[in-house]
Structure 1
């Protein structure tokens, strides 16, 4: 198969939503329909002992939420599908925002009862900013929820999208009987109650088929016909060009838990979703068809396999072919590195791959060379843009609870910070360590992983900080900067890269500092120097 054909086969997308909208369950069912797994796991069910494939960290299985992005790959209808299942919880939004830099399209999952929720709005605004093509999947139709047209209006108004329904439900909740597939022009009715195995579906090509009326009853059929008339009258016709340019968002209805509407979504997705797209570097726009390999690290994960203390850097291939055992330039370090066992993923299962193509996600064993945002090339100096870095909102001192394990604690903190789980600040005055996070739940995750992956225990103490600001002096030698260092000494710290950070204890103090020392610039992101 030619290089161009390999690129055309790839579909790399992320699944985003508010927590509990059914994102991980949808991922499971896509894998199930793709033949990648024989039986789907339930994310929250004590009756089904099988855990969700994409939730492979122990803490995820216990809490029933995703706390890290997982990568899953499978083949479906001659396409190579790469899914990135992201955390929905706002405390792990940073991981999700970074993942959105590595996807070519997105599926947004919305709960039929709750409608559009806060976290979905934030994530969709990031996608719109980057013109990422989006498909909306309205989930949990087997439960009582909002009217389909009300939901479509809500998606348009709250998310600022232009929707185009490509399927429509027949009933909802207890009356839910199936789906009309507008894209293919047929009705699918569902029989059987298994939530894990695929059921036979009855298909009708024609709404006039008398057997269809016998099955669903004339009130439901008449209601469906009226709804379809409204859909064609109110919403625009589907256009792939408008979808790919981010101007139109197809909508599918279904119930991931009961396998309703998932195959329609997948069949349509493989046809319309974009091939790997060009990506902007600071130097130029890089196209997938280029011969020279380039890629960037968007995630680092330590201890994916607890038996082997390994650390993997997830690299999205942007252009060219990535080959095993071939030296590539690590742009930030300026040195060539070879990788003898690059991995492809199926959640925590990995297999070594000899070559990977644009759109693929490759896991590289990392001994500490990589940071998030690093670029690999065949020699060209490229820096990919848009890997966001946030100023933390929560701050706590971290203390060692077991003096015998101080080495393990130091190593654990070091590796977890490289993953981007949180940020570490070392106070200039006394060398105490402070951890800053976007959400409070991350502290629990850090504590849990330190104990279970590194054998180290820690405790926290509150540290009242309003905002962390990276310091950039106009002139490091001028009197104003020296006075700033002297007066603010107890509020200064260094981040993991050794950059100076001012930890403001209140919004008032931050404003006063900016007014008093105008030549000292304060930044809310650490990326100002690149």
Structure 2
């Protein structure tokens, strides 16, 4: 789809059939237009999203090159010593994956485009989430060999959540086994959307050399060292029939959803290219259709035509409906409103991403209404604070360009404002206090304990944790009350490992990652008596206390997991005065907080005090507390003590063809399968599994199911631990005591 822009440029250089789409020449030709993007809305805000390793960053690199934003194309993994523009972090270039979303801006003809390149790995899904929250359109990349993949489904669900229109680009058609028609079929079946090709390839695999635009019925051959020369030709004779067939298929799909096309289709009237394009645009913006482009970003084929598709078919800011909430005067009530992209209205911006830089906090903002100038004041309606804007910038990866103002639809960044992800910034005079709708933040699924290797690094360690938790809503920090460990939570093990590596590189803090200590419990299985005498009379004031009684299991029949303990006073007479009974009770509840075997709480136990003995001079509350502590330890060891571990109710969903591997993995983790169910191609398994064995299961499941498997866990009960596992838990407790100098 070479579009009107190609025709216009061909006139400029005087060649109707062959012309050069040079990255620098092309951009310079239109610099003289000097238009204001948010006044005439020659603007698109798009994100590049896909399954991991589908070529998003490679695609974006070509976009920047053809638009004249960069002068040379560089390799994603940085093997050329430079690396892709948008993967500017050292970690990204070393690992060859996108970790953080990166923003840039460019001109394509008379259209300004803000582009956000997002990660493909599921562990960094929040980067995709917050990008799609503020974008008006998207490019969904598919691998020409694999078609729709697991993360494609996740990204598509996110696009649906925020009602983001999209075009589809089938990439990697230069690879062996590439089949764009199978990929389109997978889109229709797995994404359940109307989609049809607007192009067909000229050649496939190693013979790929160009594309046929089936709307305009023209062939485009990509020539030149970097595919920058587009040679427009007539459709090759051997592809005319296929081109007509696919054009008819495109019209048929559009006729199902577009009344104007339907009328002409039923009347068997010939449709013009302009009519087809208009219908594609209408239905794409209405979220009823996705045009499919194709090519190979790595081989420099098809990217320019996809950019034409962004301009021709994706919406301008004023073609999207953006709603929020306006606080009414003199009341806490809010009314739902629609933000109008008019620079004359009160300013409303949404802070969707934070970064800490050497200059301070960098806040990415999308403008929904009004405009903002440097020096203006803004009001943060979330924290209810007024702030002055001293510096505004446009981002190109990690490079900054100073700007003086931004209007409706613009995406830019500001320094020096105090806010968090999801805050709304409004007009500084507080006359208009609105709130944008929130973004979806998925709950963390993996926990790891973390501590610095060197205690001298504690200050930098805490600073790093604070920075990362502010930047990333899915990265959370907590302290386990029982083990006193610092626990970090995130979307996957890779997610947390990346942050550990960033601590080392950015803060010079080496850390130790490990599974958080499982919340075990201790209890007894039988009754045991105690008769303990605490006597100390060697120098100074003496101590004397004797306690007699028994301990026994206690289970609440209405709630077996009540986990309560009880102290019962059955002392008859005055052998143990009331103040000493109170001391015994306090001591009992103190010692059950940390059991003798593992240091975890004792549960489901009744302590009965039946009798005792005092001394006229040497007895005291302290003496009876000590006596109770030692009596408890002796009776506990005689009462068949056991360690309880938490068991989880686990539900796994996977493809039916993979259920045997999943069942084997659950069994290996000491899981007891309680139910299985088959629903067509989907297999659902329920099992009871010990929590201690579930660490790392998310990663294993992804590997077994090619990323398609999902699982959820919820607490079920505490059950007695296997004897061999019990010894290991006891051993670890003794090691912790030794490390803390308690032995």
Instruction: Answer yes or no: same fold by TM over 0.5.
Output: yes
Residue by residue over 1:441-496, the C-alpha shift from the partner in whole angstroms, topping out at 9 and shown as x without a partner, is 11221112111111222111202679xxxxxxxxxxxxx9xx999999989xxxxx
Higher CA-based Rg: 2
SS of equivalent to 2:72: coil
Q: 1:96 aligns with which of 112, 128, 145?
A: 128
**Cα separation, 1, equivalents of 2:346 and 2:97:** 39
SS of equivalent to 1:281: strand
Aligned to 1:322: 372
Aligned to 2:389: 339
Q: 2:399 aligns with which of 349, 357, 364?
A: 349
Q: 1:385 to 1:7 in 2, by over 3 A?
A: farther
SS of equivalent to 2:133: coil
Q: 1:506 aligns with which of 625, 637, 648?
A: 648
**Cα separation, 2, equivalents of 1:227 and 1:272:** 19
Aligned to 2:620: none
Aligned to 1:358: 408
Q: For residue 356 of structure 1, report the CA deviation from its aligned partner.
A: 0.6
> Does 2:230 align with 1:201?
yes
Kindly report the root-mean-square deviation, in angstroms, between the aligned alpha carbons of the 2 structures: 2.9
Aligned to 1:77: 109
Unaligned 5+ segments in structure 2 are 1-33, 256-275, 326-334, 520-558, 566-591, 595-599, 602-645, 650-687, 689-712, 718-743
Q: For residue 176 of structure 1, report the CA deviation from its aligned partner.
A: 1.8
Aligned to 1:451: 504
Q: 1:389 to 1:430 in 2, by over 3 A?
A: same
Q: 1:360 to 1:324 in 2, by over 3 A?
A: same
> Does 2:444 align with 1:392?
yes
Greater relative CO (CA pairs within 8 A, separation 6+): 1
**Cα separation, 2, equivalents of 1:247 and 1:135:** 11
**Cα separation, 2, equivalents of 1:70 and 1:110:** 20
* Contact preservation (8 Å) 2:460, 2:507: yes
Q: 2:175 aligns with which of 130, 138, 143?
A: 143
Q: 1:366 to 1:89 in 2, by over 3 A?
A: farther
Q: 1:429 to 1:39 in 2, by over 3 A?
A: same
Q: 1:117 aligns with which of 145, 149, 155?
A: 149
Aligned to 2:354: 300
Q: 1:382 aligns with which of 427, 431, 434?
A: 434
Q: 1:17 to 1:485 in 2, by over 3 A?
A: farther
SS of equivalent to 2:82: coil
Q: 2:309 aligns with which of 250, 268, 275?
A: 268
Aligned to 1:32: 65
Q: For residue 97 of structure 1, report the CA deviation from its aligned partner.
A: 1.1
SS of equivalent to 1:50: coil
**Cα separation, 1, equivalents of 2:504 and 2:38:** 47
Q: 2:339 aligns with which of 286, 290, 308?
A: 286
Aligned to 1:461: 514
Unaligned 5+ segments in structure 1 are 208-212, 467-479, 492-503, 514-530
**Cα separation, 1, equivalents of 2:564 and 2:42:** 56
Q: 1:53 aligns with which of 63, 78, 85?
A: 85
* Contact preservation (8 Å) 2:38, 2:409: no
**Cα separation, 1, equivalents of 2:37 and 2:455:** 57
> Does 2:86 align with 1:64?
no
**Cα separation, 2, equivalents of 1:231 and 1:127:** 23
Q: For residue 20 of structure 1, report the CA deviation from its aligned partner.
A: 0.7
SS of equivalent to 1:100: helix
Q: For residue 505 of structure 1, report the CA deviation from its aligned partner.
A: 7.0
Residue by residue over 1:304-328, the C-alpha shift from the partner in whole angstroms, topping out at 9 and shown as x without a partner, is xxxx263311111111101111000
> Does 2:356 align with 1:313?
no
Aligned to 1:519: none
Residue by residue over 1:165-206, the C-alpha shift from the partner in whole angstroms, topping out at 9 and shown as x without a partner, is 2221122102323101124431012335x3xx34423211x3
**Cα separation, 2, equivalents of 1:488 and 1:452:** 40
**Cα separation, 2, equivalents of 1:232 and 1:2:** 35
Which range moved further: 30-39 or 308-317?
308-317
* Contact preservation (8 Å) 1:171, 1:220: no
